[in-house]
Chain A
Amino acid sequence: MAEIRFEEALKKLEKIVDDLEKGDLSLEEALKKYQEGLELSRMCSQRLESAKKKIDVLAKNKKGEFELKPFDETDIENGK
């Protein structure tokens, strides 16, 4: 569950809500879905608040293979 993308979590949550609203689930199934929905919505809220942006620069190493190097935002200031 930890690696799921925000967009995917949101879509999953939407599906669960749709299923619950249709109301043709057994109480046991509904409980399970509800619990899953709670977890997803909690996760989405956390992601929304987290400020963990990740910025990389695409570069090539000596062998000509691609590699990602973390981008230092202070570089822009220096470059200007």
Chain B
Amino acid sequence: MPEEIDLFDHAKKTVRIYTVSEIAQNVKHLLEDMFGALWIEGEISNYGAHPSGHLYFSLKDQSAILSAVMFSWANKNVKFKLENGLKVICFGRISAYGPQSKYQIIVEKIEPKGIGSRQLAFEQLTQKLQKEGLFAVAHKRQIPYLPAKIGIVTSLSGAALKDILKVLDRRFSDIQVIISPAQVQGEAAKDDIARAISDLNRFNRGLSLKERIEVMIVGRGGGSTEDLWAFNEEEVARAIYSSKIPVISAVGHERDLSIADLVADTRAATPSVAAELVIPEKKDLKDTLKGLQERLHSSFLDMVMESEQAIDGSLRRLDIAMAHRIEINFQAFEGLRGKLTLLNPFALLMQYQGKLENAIRQMHVRMKTLFTLRKSAFIALIEKLESLSPLGILRRGYSITFALPDAGIVKDSSRLKPGDMIQSRVQKGEIISQVTEVRRNGRDTV
């Protein structure tokens, strides 16, 4: 009877029997040794992010599919968002994952195929923010003219600050500047810029309305795309959008368009240009002021001239009225003289006639002198007004009396009674006094 051979038993004795883990281990080594690190291109599918921060997806082409994982330590520097259908080039290692009997690539670097990753990131974020309305024209606010206080978010040691302050030196400088310092390049820049913008806003909320920062410049001087990148980050875009203080963006040079520029209320090509937008030219202000001063003087002078003409008119009418009066009186006198002649106490008549004629002559002379005096006094007053200084009158020893409280200039003593308070304005200062007696024409007590 031939001995029955138990193959299995035989095998156990003669051949090595692997464990599952050993196979997995070997496959892993085999794959890793064979490929090492490599570049691979494919299309992303089955993309999913894991709460741990690792990214899981597949790379595929027409006929095959390869699992891929990108661990959080590797993917934190990826600028763009992975999307299914996106063609990419990856750098990584082929390895096996025993627990799922699966071979895969562990991706260390990933780049979109065809365009740069920054460009793609820019396009992706632009699209997203556009959809959310962050670039809406309706949200953009006016940049105030002649702000008393401006904020600046930039680096304390950068060229931008230097340029802005230079503009301030050159132009109208009666402006308060508050710098909210921020790191403007490097990994930490996006968060730092966003924080600096919100700091200015929070600080502003603590100020009274009149003291508030009215506009801020956010930016930095020129640099490489990488240097300026923070201004293309979502954090900065959102901080600008939610700023209560209107924002002027000023990133790099004219040719650099950032997402910050798209969100800001106004975009300036450079930090200097931003400063010029809010800090007016001294010359412009001087011209404005000069124009106002000229209009001030001429409008007032016009008014004085008009009054002068009105008074001239009144004086003329007074002259005529007086002449008329004198004429009537003279006729009355003539009548009386006629009667007197009839009564014939001739000597007496002659005497009265002489006196009367004298009186009339004197009356004429006195009226004339009086008019002339009043007119020249008035003209002198006008001249004083024209010399621009109402204070000049006071300088000459005159005073203006105001009734208190706030009842205007006292021109007629009868408006006052003993006990009233008055305020006299003299060249230097004012006197508050109490009325003890009121006289009319300087004689009678009212």
Closest chain B residue to A49 by CB distance?
B282
A79 to B181 CA separation, bound complex (whole angstroms): 13
Contact B300 A53 (CB under 8 A): no
A51 CB contacts on chain B under 8 angstroms? 173
B302 is an interface residue with CB less than 8 A from chain A: yes
Distance (whole angstroms) from the CB of B264 to the closest CB of chain A: 20
A74 to B261 CA separation, bound complex (whole angstroms): 30
Stretch at the interface among B22-30, B31-39, B40-48, B285-293: B285-293
Contact B199 A80 (CB under 8 A): no
B390 is an interface residue with CB less than 8 A from chain A: yes
Contact B181 A76 (CB under 8 A): no
Contact B303 A27 (CB under 8 A): yes
Distance (whole angstroms) from the CB of B425 to the closest CB of chain A: 11
Supposing A21-B295, A57-B179 touch, asked if A75 and B157 sit within 8 A by C-beta, the answer is yes
B299 is an interface residue with CB less than 8 A from chain A: yes
Which of A7, A25, A80: most chain B CB closer than 10 A?
Answer: A7
B180 CB contacts on chain A under 8 angstroms? 57-58
B177 CB contacts on chain A under 8 angstroms? 53-56, 71
Interface residues of B in 162-217 (CB under 8 A from A): 162, 165, 168-169, 172-181, 199-200, 202-203, 206, 210
A2 is an interface residue with CB less than 8 A from chain B: no
Closest chain B residue to A59 by CB distance?
B181
Q: Pick from B156, B199, B206, B288: contact of A10, CB below 8 A.
A: B288
Contact B293 A58 (CB under 8 A): no
A4 to B156 CA separation, bound complex (whole angstroms): 30
Contact B289 A66 (CB under 8 A): no
Contact A48 B289 (CB under 8 A): yes
Contact B174 A56 (CB under 8 A): no
Contact B172 A34 (CB under 8 A): no
Contact B390 A27 (CB under 8 A): no
- What bracket does the count of chain A residues touching chain B fall in? 35 or more
Contact B296 A41 (CB under 8 A): yes
Question: Can you list, as one digit per residue, whether each of B304-337 has a CB less than 8 Å from chain A (1) or not (0)?
Answer: 1011000000000000000000000000000000
Contact B157 A76 (CB under 8 A): yes
A14 CB contacts on chain B under 8 angstroms? 292
Contact B299 A44 (CB under 8 A): no
Contact A7 B148 (CB under 8 A): yes
Contact B199 A76 (CB under 8 A): no
Contact B168 A53 (CB under 8 A): yes
Q: Pick from A20, A71, A79: contact of B296, CB below 8 A.
A: A20
Q: Pick from B146, B158, B179, B390: contact of A71, CB below 8 A.
A: B179
Question: Can you list, as one digit per residue, whether each of A1-43 has a CB less than 8 Å from chain B (1) or not (0)?
Answer: 0000111001001101100110101011011001101100100
Supposing A13-B296, A20-B300 touch, asked if A58 and B157 sit within 8 A by C-beta, the answer is no
B202 CB contacts on chain A under 8 angstroms? 66
A45 is an interface residue with CB less than 8 A from chain B: yes
Closest chain A residue to B283 by CB distance?
A48
A73 CB contacts on chain B under 8 angstroms? 165
B373 is an interface residue with CB less than 8 A from chain A: no
Which of B293, B307, B408: most chain A CB closer than 10 A?
Answer: B293
Distance (whole angstroms) from the CB of B245 to the closest CB of chain A: 12
Q: Pick from A28, A45, A54: contact of B176, CB below 8 A.
A: A54
Distance (whole angstroms) from the CB of B392 to the closest CB of chain A: 11
Contact B296 A6 (CB under 8 A): no
Contact A20 B303 (CB under 8 A): yes
A41 to B145 CA separation, bound complex (whole angstroms): 19
Distance (whole angstroms) from the CB of A74 to the closest CB of chain B: 11
Binding site for A on B (CB under 8 A): 145-146, 148, 151, 156-159, 161-162, 165, 168-169, 172-181, 199-200, 202-203, 206, 210, 282, 285-286, 288-289, 292-293, 295-296, 299-300, 302-304, 306-307, 385, 388, 390-391, 408-409
Pairs across A and B, CB under 8 Å, 17 listed: A7-B148, A10-B292, A13-B292, A21-B299, A28-B408, A31-B390, A48-B174, A48-B282, A50-B174, A52-B173, A54-B176, A55-B165, A57-B178, A57-B179, A58-B200, A73-B165, A76-B161
Kindly list the 10 A-B residue pairs having the minimum CB-CB distance in the complex, ordered from nearest.
Answer: A79-B157, A20-B299, A53-B173, A7-B146, A34-B300, A55-B177, A58-B180, A21-B299, A37-B296, A17-B295
Known: A57-B180, A58-B180, A79-B156. 18 other contacts (CB 8 A): A6-B146, A10-B289, A16-B296, A17-B299, A30-B303, A45-B289, A52-B174, A53-B169, A53-B174, A53-B176, A54-B177, A55-B176, A55-B177, A56-B177, A66-B199, A66-B202, A76-B161, A76-B165
